[in-house]
Amino acid sequence: MSKEQISKRFWADMNISTKIFIFLVLILVLGFFITGYFVINNVKEHFTHEISEQLSAEVKTIKDFLNSTDKTTQEIKEEIEENALFDLTERAQALKSTITKLYSTYTSVGMTPTVIKFQLSTEILQTRIGTSGYAYALDSNGTLVVHPTKQGTNLKGKKHIDQMLEEKNGVIVYERSTDPNHPKVYAAFRYLPQLDWIIVLTIPENELMEIANKVQDEILNDIKKSIKTLKIGKTGYYYIMNSKGLLVVHPSKKFEGKSVYKYDFAKEMIKNKNGVIRYKWEGKYKIVAYTYYAPRDWIIAGGSYEDEFLGHIVKSAILNFSIVSIIVVLVLLVVLRLVFKINVINPIDELEGLFQKIASGDLTQKLAVKRKNEIGRIIINVNNMIDQMNKALCEVNASTKDVGQSAEVLAASSNQMTSGADTQAERISSVEVAMQEMTATITEISQNLEEVSNEIEGIKGAAETGRQVIDETVEGITNLSETVITSAEKMKELGKSSEQIGEILQVISDIADQTNLLALNAAIEAARAGEHGRGFAVVADEVRKLAERTAKATGEIDEMIKSIQSEVKSSVVHMDKGARLAEEGSMLVGNLKMSLEEIINGVLDVADKITAVASAVDQQSATSQEILNNMAEIATIAQENTSIAQENHNQAEMLKELAKKLQQIVNEFKLQECESLK
C-alpha cells in the first residue's frame, strides 16, 4: 500500500471521538488565528490612525512655523523697503536742492542758459545710487533731456513716464522691459520749475532690497537646514516639494533638486494637496503626512517606514495574544474533553455495544434514555428501530406462510389462464378475418367518393366562373343603364340650349330689321345731301345689304335650329324609353344573379357535403385499419398472455421455495413475543 492509502486507512480506522477532538482543536486554533488576525489589524489601524494624526499635526506645525516666519520676513522686508524708499525720496529732494542752488549761482554770475543746462546735466549724471542706480531728467513733453545713454529720447506714452508728468513729485514702482536682469525699478522724482524739468532717481528693486532679500534668504536657508535635520523616529524625515514634483528640501543631497513626479505617490500628493498617504519605497511601506503651503507652492511632507512605527507594537500584540490564546485553548481543550467524554463518548460506547448485540441477532435488548439531546434522540430512534425490526420480522414470518399458500393458488390460476388464453386467440383470429373484409369494402367506397369529390371540385370551379360572368354582366348592364340615363339628361339639356339659340336668333333678326330701316333712312338722307352725301349713301347701301344677308342667314339658322329641336325632342323620347328598358334589364339581370347565386351556393353546399362524406369514409377506413392492426396486436398479446401464464406458474413454484428459505432466515433471529407487538 502507498503512503497516501495508509494515511487514508489510518484516518478511516480512527475513533470518532478522536476525530471530533482533532476537529475541535483545529476549529479552536483556526478561530484564535482569525480572531488574532482581526485584533492585530484593529491594533494596526488604531495606531496607524494615531500616527497619521500625529504626523499631520507635526507637518502642520512646520507649515505654521513657515507661515509665521514668512510673515515676519515680509514685515522686515516691508520695513526695509519703507526705509529705502524714504532714503531714496530724501536723496531726490537733496539733488533737487543742489540743482536749484547751482541754477541760482550760475544765473547770478551771468552764465547763458545753455551753459547752465550743461553744468546741471553734468551734476545730475554724476549722481549715483548704489551700484547700478542713477539719475536722469525729462522735460514736460516726456523727452529725456539728461540721461546716461538715451538722452533726447521721447518716452511720453509709457505708463510710468505719464504718471511722473502728471504728479510732478512722488515715488513709483514700475516694470522695466529694457533690462531683464532688473525688471522691477523704484523711482523718486522732483519737479524743477526753473527749467521745467523732472529730476528722477532710479534704482533696481534687487539692489534697493538687497539687505531685505539677504535676510529673507538667510532665514529661508536656516528653515531648510532645520527641516533637513528633523528626524521622525530612527529613519524618518521631512521633505518639501513643489506642485511640479521637484524636491525643494530633502535630507539627502542626491534627491534634493530632483523631480519625483514620475512616482504615483507624488502625483497623488500634488493632486490632493493635504492628507496622509501609504506608499511603497525601496521595498517597504512608508506612512507620510503632507500639507500644502500656498504662498511658496510647497507641499510639506513627513513620515517614516511603517515597520518603524508599528513593528514593536505589532510584535508585542502578537506575543501577548499568542500567550493568552495558548492558555485559553489548553483550558478549553481540557474542559471540552471532559464534557465530550461524559456527553458523547460514553453514550456512543453504549450504542456500540447495543449494535453488536443486534448484529448477533439479538433484538430483545434496549438502552435507557438518560438525556434529551442529539444522543438521547439517537437512542430513542435505535430503540424504535429495534421495535420496528421485531415487528417487521414477525410480520415477515407470518407473511412467509401466506406467500407459500398464495404461490400454490397462483400456480393453479396460471394453468386456468393458459387454457383461456388459447381460446381467446382462436376467437380473435376469426374477428381479424372479418375486419379485413370490411376494410377492403370501405377502401373501395373511399376510392369512389374520391372520384366524385374530384368531379365536384370541377363543378365548383365552373360555378365560380359562372358567378364571375354574371357579376361582370350585371356590372355592364348597370353601367349601360347609367350611360343611357346620362345621355337622356344631356339630350334634354341640348333641347333647352337649342331653344335659347332660337331666342338669340330672334334678337339678331330684330337687330337686322332695325339695321335695314336705319340703312334706308341713311340712304334717303344721303340723297337729300346730294353730291356730299354720295359716299355716305354707298355706306348705307352696304349696311342695308349686310342687314338683308343677316336676316336671310338668321332665317336659315332658325330653320336648322327648329329641325335640330325636332330631332332632339325625338331623341329625348327614345332615350327616356331606352333608360326605362335599361333599368328593367338591370332589374332582370339582378334577379337572374340572385337565382344563379342560389344555384351556385346549392352546388357548393352539395360539394362540401360530398367532401365531408368522403372525409368521413376516409376516417372510417383509417379506423377500420387501426382496428385491424389492434386485433393483430391483441392476437399477439393473447399469445404473450399464454407464455406469461406459463411463466407465472413457474414463478409461483420458485416463490414457494423462496418462502421456505425466508422462513429459515427469520427463525435465526431472537425476537420478542410477536403477540405483544400487535
Residue 138 maps to a domain: yes
Q: How far apart are CA 282 and CA 284, in angstroms?
A: 6
Least confident of 1-15, 71-85, 329-343, 575-589: 1-15
Confidence of residue 431 (pLDDT cuts 50, 70, 90): low
CATH number of the domain encompassing residue 180: 3.30.450.20
Whether residue 293 is found in the same domain as residue 198: yes
* Residue, of 596 and 175, whose pLDDT is higher: 175
Residue 653 lies in a domain: yes
The predicted model scores a pTM of: 0.40
**DSSP codes joined into one string, 497-553:** HHHHHHHHHHHHHHHHHHHHHHHHHHHHHHHHHGGGGHHHHHHHHHHHHHHHHHHHH
User: Of 269, 302, 335, which residue is a domain's last?
Assistant: 335
Taking 60 as the threshold, does the pLDDT of residue 1 lie above it? Answer: no
| 281 and 402 inside one domain | no
**Residues 555 and 547: beta-carbon distance below 8 Å:** no
Please tell me whether residues 591 and 661 are part of one structural domain: yes
pLDDT tens column, 498-519? 677 667 767 777 776 777 777 6
Q: Model confidence over 625-641: pLDDT tens digits?
A: 776 676 677 667 767 76
Assess if residue 352 is contained within a domain: no
Of the pLDDT bands very low, low, confident and very high (cuts 50, 70, 90), residue 553 is: confident
Overall number of domains in the chain: 2
* Burial (CB count <10 Å: 0-12, 13-18, 19+), residue 371: exposed
Of 302, 335, 368, which closes a domain? 335
| Higher per-residue pLDDT: 440 or 192 | 192
Q: What is the pLDDT of residue 348?
A: 72
Residue 240 vs residue 473, higher pLDDT: 240
State which H helix or E strand residue 284 sits in: strand 284-293
> pLDDT-based confidence at 30, cuts 50/70/90?
confident
Q: What is the domain range of residue 328? A: 11-335
Residue 170 pLDDT level (bands cut at 50, 70, 90): very high
Higher pLDDT pick, 200 / 286: 200
Distances (CA, A) of 320 to 33, 314, 325: 13, 10, 8
pLDDT of residue 562: 73
Q: Domain with 442 in it: what CATH number?
A: 1.10.287.950
pLDDT computed for residue 299 by the predictor: 92
Which of 2-11, 55-64, 338-347, 527-536: highest mean pLDDT? 55-64
Using DSSP, state whether 117 is helix, strand or coil: helix
Per-residue pLDDT at 185 exceeds 70 = yes
- With respect to residue 362, please indicate whether it lies within any of the assigned structural domains: no
Three-class SS state of 240: strand
Q: Which residue has the higher pLDDT, 541 or 185?
A: 185
Residues 440 and 291 in one domain: no
Specify the higher pLDDT residue, 84 or 360.
84
673 located within any domain: no
Same domain, 182 and 327: yes
SS3 category, 247 = strand
Q: Are residues 305 and 419 in the same domain?
A: no
Answer yes or no: is 341 within a domain: no
Give the position of cell 531648510: 224
DSSP structure class, residue 294: G
If asked whether residues 51 and 195 sit together in one domain, one would say yes
DSSP state of 257: T
Give the residue from 335, 367, 392 where a domain finishes: 335
What is the percentage of the chain residues whose pLDDT exceeds 70? 63
Q: How many CB atoms lie within 10 A of CB 52?
A: 19
Tell me the C-alpha distance between 678 and 672, whole Å: 11
Question: Burial level of 200, CB count in 10 A (0-12/13-18/19+)?
Answer: buried
Whether residue 96 sits in one domain with residue 18: yes
Whether 38 is covered by a domain: the verdict is yes
Q: List, for residues 101-120, the tens digit of each pLDDT value.
A: 999 999 999 899 999 999 99
DSSP assigned state of 143: B
Task: Please give the average per-residue pLDDT across 67-71, as a whole number.
Answer: 86
540/432 same-domain check = yes
**Are 302 and 430 members of one domain?**
no
Q: What is the pLDDT of residue 212?
A: 67
Rounded distance between C-alpha atoms, residue 202 and residue 210, angstroms: 15
C-alpha cell of residue 223: 528653515
Q: Mean pLDDT for the chain?
A: 76
Same domain, 259 and 319: yes
Strand intervals (E) in 168-263:
170-175, 184-192, 197-204, 231-232, 236-242, 247-249
Please say whether the beta carbons of 536 and 527 come within 8 A.
Answer: no
Domain assignment of residue 348, yes or no: no
In this model, does residue 201 exceed pLDDT 90?
yes
Query: Quick one: 89 and 27 in the same domain?
Result: yes
